[in-house]
A and B are shown apart, each in its own frame.
Chain A
Amino acid sequence: MKFGIVVSEGPYTHEASDSAYNFVKAALAKGHEVSRVFFYHDGVNVGTRLSIPPQDDRQIQEQWTALAKEHDLDLVICIAAAQRRGLLDKNEADRQGKDANNIAEGFRISGLGQLIEMGIQADRTVTFGD
């Protein structure tokens, strides 16, 4: 089965991104396909490479980056939600005249159309949120 995943809450405050991660890992292990993971609302904050959780806690962004690398996952951060919350890739930082960017490896920034497209193409769209 082809799954599309929505993550709509931020890391650490909510368990949503952990549950999504565990679901994606389990689905892939069972031989399913995950066509895209779309990060929306505060979920975009999962994609910052500047978070420094305590060493004895799980490293949410690093887990996603590693999983994306291993399985060639498409991790998409919504641009409109990201701009509000200070998530920028290099292109966007340059374009907006900002002095830094913070997107982690394995994530990309794109539009809401990617969410709708994912819903159309996936057999099941599963939301992890509040």
Chain B
Amino acid sequence: MSETVKKFLYVNRKAPYGTIYAQEALEVVLIGAAFDQDVSLAFLDDGVFQLTKGQDTKEIGLKNFSATYRALGDYEVTKLYVEKESLEERGLTLDDLQNIEYEDEDDDYAEKPSIRLVTRAEMAEVMADQDVVLSF
């Protein structure tokens, strides 16, 4: 759609259902995928809860959109940076997160993990490397 390719980072900082930020951030990511940009997502602070396994929203009457994160690979969104300290501060480990994979078309469509665990210092580098940072 555009010849310019920029590095877009969507920063997810909020828990999934207490506010609408996570859901409306996903809407931006899905629309943005049509623009063929270099897309990454960052999950930090309570944003790490967005990726947790076993979310069940039946009792609160909100749409459970957690499966959408597993579909991101189909939109060529394959870089999900998760901040290690944010997980630890909340008593979480990678095992508490969904298994999110993408098919690497440059490697015979091998399934590879989309989640990349990074330290807070490394997250700062990821952010510094971007052209456009949208924070949710």
Interface residues, chain A, with chain B CB atoms under 8 Å away: 6, 8, 40-41, 80-81, 84, 111-113, 115-117, 119-121, 125, 127, 129
Whether B132 lies near A119 (C-beta < 8 A) is yes
Q: In the complex, what distance in Å separates the CA atom of A121 from the CA atom of B21?
A: 24
- B40-75 vs A, Cβ < 8 Å mask (1 yes, 0 no): 000000000000000000000000000000000000
Q: In the complex, what distance in Å separates the CA atom of A69 from the CA atom of B132?
A: 28
Decide if B116 is an interface residue (CB 8 Å cutoff). no
Whether B132 lies near A125 (C-beta < 8 A) is yes
Does more than half of chain A's interface fall in helix, strand or loop, or is it mixed? helix
Interchain Cβ contacts under 8 Å between A and B, 11 examples: A40-B24, A113-B31, A115-B31, A119-B6, A120-B2, A120-B4, A120-B35, A121-B4, A125-B133, A127-B134, A127-B135
Decide if B98 is an interface residue (CB 8 Å cutoff). no
Decide if B27 is an interface residue (CB 8 Å cutoff). yes
Whether B37 lies near A116 (C-beta < 8 A) is yes
| Cross-chain pair count, CB within 8 angstroms | 50
Near A by CB (< 8 A), chain B positions 1-36 give: 2, 4, 6, 8, 20-21, 24, 27-28, 31-32, 34-35
Closest beta carbon of chain B to A94's beta carbon, Å: 24
Give every chain B residue within 8 A of A41 (Cβ-Cβ).
20-21, 24
Whether B35 lies near A112 (C-beta < 8 A) is no
Q: In the complex, what distance in Å separates the CA atom of A125 from the CA atom of B35?
A: 17
Whether B24 lies near A129 (C-beta < 8 A) is no
Q: In the complex, what distance in Å separates the CA atom of A6 from the CA atom of B37?
A: 19
Closest beta carbon of chain B to A15's beta carbon, Å: 16
Whether B27 lies near A80 (C-beta < 8 A) is yes
Whether B6 lies near A112 (C-beta < 8 A) is no
Give every chain B residue within 8 A of A8 (Cβ-Cβ).
136
Closest beta carbon of chain B to A99's beta carbon, Å: 26
Whether B8 lies near A119 (C-beta < 8 A) is yes
Given contacts A120-B4, A120-B37, contact A111 B133 (CB under 8 A): no
Of the candidates A6, A117, A119, A121, the one having the most CB atoms from chain B within 10 angstroms of its own CB is A119
Closest residue of chain B to A113 (Cβ to Cβ) is B31
Closest residue of chain B to A123 (Cβ to Cβ) is B131
Known: A41-B20, A84-B20. 17 other contacts (CB 8 A): A6-B134, A8-B136, A40-B28, A80-B24, A112-B27, A112-B31, A113-B31, A115-B28, A116-B28, A116-B31, A116-B32, A119-B6, A119-B8, A119-B131, A119-B134, A127-B133, A127-B135
Q: In the complex, what distance in Å separates the CA atom of A111 from the CA atom of B27?
A: 11
Q: In the complex, what distance in Å separates the CA atom of A79 from the CA atom of B4?
A: 25
